[in-house]
Amino acid sequence: MMEYPLTLKNLLMRNRQLFGKKEVVSRNLTGDFRYTYRDFYQRVCKLANVLTSLDIKKGDKVATLAWNTHRHLELYFAVPCCGAVLHTLNLRLSREHLAYIINHAEDKVIVVDEDLVPLLESIRDQISTVKHFIVLDDTGNMPYTGLEPVYSYEQSLAKAPDHYDFPDIDEWSPAAMCYTSATTGNPKGVVYTHRGLFLHAMALTNADSMGLSEKDILMPVVPMFHVNAWGTPFAAVWVGSTLIMPGKKLDPPSLCQLIEQEKVTASPGVPTIWMGIAQLLESGAQYQLSSLRALVSGGAPLPEALIRKLDKFNIPVMHAYGMTETTPLVLVSNPKSYMNSLSVEEKYRLGSRQGLLVPGLEMKVIGENGQEIPWDGKQIGELWLRGPWIAKEYYKEPETSRETFVDGWMRTGDIVNVDEEGYVLIVDRAKDLIKSGGEWISSVDLENTIMGHDAVVETAVIAIPHEKWQERPLACVVLKESEIEKVSKQDILDFLRERVAKWWIPDEIIFVNQIPKTSTGKFSKRIIREMYRNRELQQQ
Ligand code: AMP
């Protein structure tokens, strides 16, 4: 066979040759915008010329701080196809973490949406490697900004030539990178190679996974800064799906209206989004959503109750599982052909399992004794993975990498059981993090902050279930004896309000006499969670 490089250039060129007539629709700040892939390609070439004129070279990092729009899609291809690395910045990170990852990745250019300019300005003094800022000016007016040097995206493209010779790139070259939250401290970077993204995109088109195809009208609701919108824009451009970019308005009525207007067939997003849509429909709102073949739900567990609710409105949900480190697709829950005779209830139950391993990857589940567990749907262990789109290390983090990447495998930190058919169910999380609305909160960082309060002896933060956000933090706090009558929950909350992002503030503070410990003296979050479930967490 030929030694053929698996790079994103192939995806872009196939789209150019075959799908010039198909459309991309983008809900921008100024309204809905629509163009063809033919126009898209021309602008990708122009953008590549702009980047070259800014002296962007192979391996340089070009960061984006942006919503899901057609301009962000142009960056998805222009940046890696000219040899640079697309670093998508998570706009929900704290300012401190945002500045950290920009410096750590050594971003050379930041391309920012007009309305996010103030966020970037607020950390300008802390970032040291950025040479240029480009504003995605949608309104036609460049905002007044202290960022320097700064260029208008639209004006730069208007002046640039519309031809570009995309170079041949080694398939192992970095194409993109994302950072993911650590249990504590700074986020960790994951670098995606061209080869990894190519093979992952191919997996998304597999009929037994998401089955993305030319016939799809795909609306990625999952942000483009969250594991490259799960790789779906790459696959969609490759196979020529119509792409609907929903922009910044992700409230249920806006999304339903867009699904109805564009006849969306598939849409990936976190369960919190789909919960919002289910509630809107339950409230009696009327939308024509019959075009949907799948809402793809990932990033957090898909509750059986949600599958049931959406089924009442004939909306099918496909449950998927993955991580930043896994590009992300790993598991998809599709029933096997001989499972047609399952009862509706059994199908709901199956759908709430994270599903079957997608072709191309390998998994094993390691129990507490270090041995692989049997697939009996009962015994539990940690899910380990390997394969061509699984990371092998964290970017510039040899120490942390050694804990996660072991003997050619990646430890996911997710505790699972596997049934006889191979369907994986996540039952717990070994990593000490809380996932609220698809975004991470570090329980350890919250604990450290609460411990900074003079009246606090010790504290443990756990995730508790929440109908809308799936998980929210609850803090168990032990006060110094002398402070017991003097310090209120409100005092702790006020203390936190000045120190952590608003959405990190715990929903509940419970004062307790002591925190349950394991035999080795560590906080036993498992016991605390169990006590919470059994309503045994007593207020002191
Ligand atoms: P991230 O790197 O932010 O995408 O987060 C990955 C983590 O989210 C996984 O290790 C799981 O803990 C969790 N996760 C992702 N998808 C699912 C799912 N379908 N069900 C349960 N947890 C999930």
Helix count (H) and strand count (E) of the chain?
17, 26
Q: If you measure from the C-alpha of residue 328 to the centroid of ligand 1, how many angstroms do you get, rounded to a whole number?
A: 9
CA distance 149 to 144: 13
Tokens of 333: 């829950």
- Is residue 209 within 8 Å of 332, Cβ to Cβ? yes
Residue range 131-160: mean pLDDT, rounded = 95
Ligand 1 site, residue 329, Cβ cutoff 6 A: no
Q: 180 catalytic, yes or no? A: yes
Q: Where in the chain is the domain with CATH 3.40.50.12780?
A: 8-195
Q: If you measure from the C-alpha of residue 75 to the centroid of ligand 1, how many angstroms do you get, rounded to a whole number?
A: 26
Q: How far is CA 402 from CA 131, 187, 227, 389, 396, in A?
A: 33, 16, 22, 19, 12
- pLDDT of 540 over the 60 cut: no
The residue type found at 240 is G
- pLDDT of 183 over the 80 cut: no
Mutate to test the pocket of ligand 1, among 319, 404, 426, 441 (most ligand atoms within 8 A of CB): 426
Residue nearest atom 20 in ligand 1 by C-alpha distance: 301
pLDDT confidence band for 520 (50 / 70 / 90): low
DSSP letters for 241-309: -EEEE-BT--SHHHHHHHHHHHT--EEEE-HHHHHHHHHHHHTT-----TT-SEEEE-SS---HHHHHH
Q: What is the pLDDT of residues 443-486, one digit of tens each?
A: 888 888 898 898 998 889 999 999 889 999 999 999 988 998 89
Among the residues of 436-533, which ranges form H helices?
443-451, 489-497, 525-533
State the chain's mean pLDDT as an integer: 94
Residue nearest atom 15 in ligand 1 by C-alpha distance: 299
Fold exhibited by the domain 434-531: GMP Synthetase; Chain A, domain 3 (3.30.300)
Q: If you measure from the C-alpha of residue 403 to the centroid of ligand 1, how many angstroms do you get, rounded to a whole number?
A: 19
CA distance 354 to 441: 22
Q: If you measure from the C-alpha of residue 260 to the centroid of ligand 1, how many angstroms do you get, rounded to a whole number?
A: 29
3-state secondary structure of 349: helix
**pLDDT of the residue at 351:** 96
Q: 440 catalytic, yes or no? A: yes
CA distance 227 to 447: 27
Ligand 1 site, residue 228, Cβ cutoff 6 A: no
- Is residue 1 within 8 Å of 13, Cβ to Cβ? no
Ligand 1 site, residue 404, Cβ cutoff 6 A: no
Mutate to test the pocket of ligand 1, among 188, 323, 358, 471 (most ligand atoms within 8 A of CB): 323
CA distance 318 to 297: 6
Q: What is the pLDDT of residues 224-280, one digit of tens each?
A: 999 999 999 999 999 999 999 999 999 999 999 999 999 999 999 999 899 999 999
Catalytic residue among 88, 180, 327, 404: 180
Ligand 1 site, residue 298, Cβ cutoff 6 A: yes
pLDDT confidence band for 519 (50 / 70 / 90): low
CA distance 427 to 301: 9
Q: What is the pLDDT of residues 367-392, one digit of tens each?
A: 988 999 999 999 989 999 999 999 99
Q: What is the pLDDT of residues 104-145, one digit of tens each?
A: 999 999 999 999 999 999 999 999 999 999 999 998 889 999
Q: If you measure from the C-alpha of residue 322 to the centroid of ligand 1, how many angstroms do you get, rounded to a whole number?
A: 6
3-state secondary structure of 317: strand
Q: If you measure from the C-alpha of residue 338 to the centroid of ligand 1, how many angstroms do you get, rounded to a whole number?
A: 28
Ligand 1 site, residue 180, Cβ cutoff 6 A: yes
- Is residue 21 within 8 Å of 38, Cβ to Cβ? yes
Q: What is the pLDDT of residues 192-207, one digit of tens each?
A: 999 999 999 999 999 9
Buried-exposed string 170-207: b where 16+ CB fall within 10 A, e elsewhere: ebebbbbbbbbbbbeeebbbbbbbbbbbbbbbbbbbbe
- Is residue 38 within 8 Å of 162, Cβ to Cβ? no
- pLDDT of 186 over the 90 cut: no
CATH number of 356-429: 2.30.38.10
Tokens of 296: 């793809």
Q: What percent of the chain has pLDDT over 90?
A: 83
Catalytic residue among 22, 108, 309, 435: 435
- pLDDT of 181 over the 80 cut: yes
**pLDDT of the residue at 538:** 67
Residue 143 DSSP label:
P
- pLDDT of 413 over the 90 cut: yes
Q: What is the pLDDT of residues 287-312, one digit of tens each?
A: 999 999 999 999 988 989 899 999 99
**pLDDT of the residue at 174:** 98
**pLDDT of the residue at 433:** 85
Q: If you measure from the C-alpha of residue 135 to the centroid of ligand 1, how many angstroms do you get, rounded to a whole number?
A: 32
CATH number of 8-195: 3.40.50.12780
**pLDDT of the residue at 521:** 67
Pick the atom of ligand 1 nearest to 320's CA: 19
Q: Where in the chain is the domain with CATH 2.30.38.10?
A: 356-429
Q: Which of 413, 426, 419 is nearest to 346 (CA)?
A: 419
Mutate to test the pocket of ligand 1, among 179, 181, 327, 414 (most ligand atoms within 8 A of CB): 414
Q: How far is CA 444 from CA 427, 448, 451, in A?
A: 21, 6, 10
**pLDDT of the residue at 539:** 63
Q: What is the pLDDT of residues 327-359, one digit of tens each?
A: 999 999 999 999 989 999 999 999 999 999 999
CA distance 245 to 222: 10
Pick the atom of ligand 1 nearest to 297's CA: 19
Q: 384 catalytic, yes or no? A: no
**pLDDT of the residue at 237:** 98
Q: 435 catalytic, yes or no? A: yes
Cβ neighbourhood burial of 356 (10 Å; 0-12, 13-18, 19+): buried
**pLDDT of the residue at 140:** 85
Pick the atom of ligand 1 nearest to 301's CA: 20
**pLDDT of the residue at 479:** 92
Q: Report residue 90: phi and psi, to 5°.
A: -80, 110
**pLDDT of the residue at 362:** 98
Among the residues of 407-524, which ranges form H helices?
443-451, 489-497
The residue type found at 406 is V
Q: Where in the chain is the domain with CATH 3.30.300.30?
A: 434-531
Residue range 81-102: mean pLDDT, rounded = 95
Strands 132-136 and 107-113: parallel
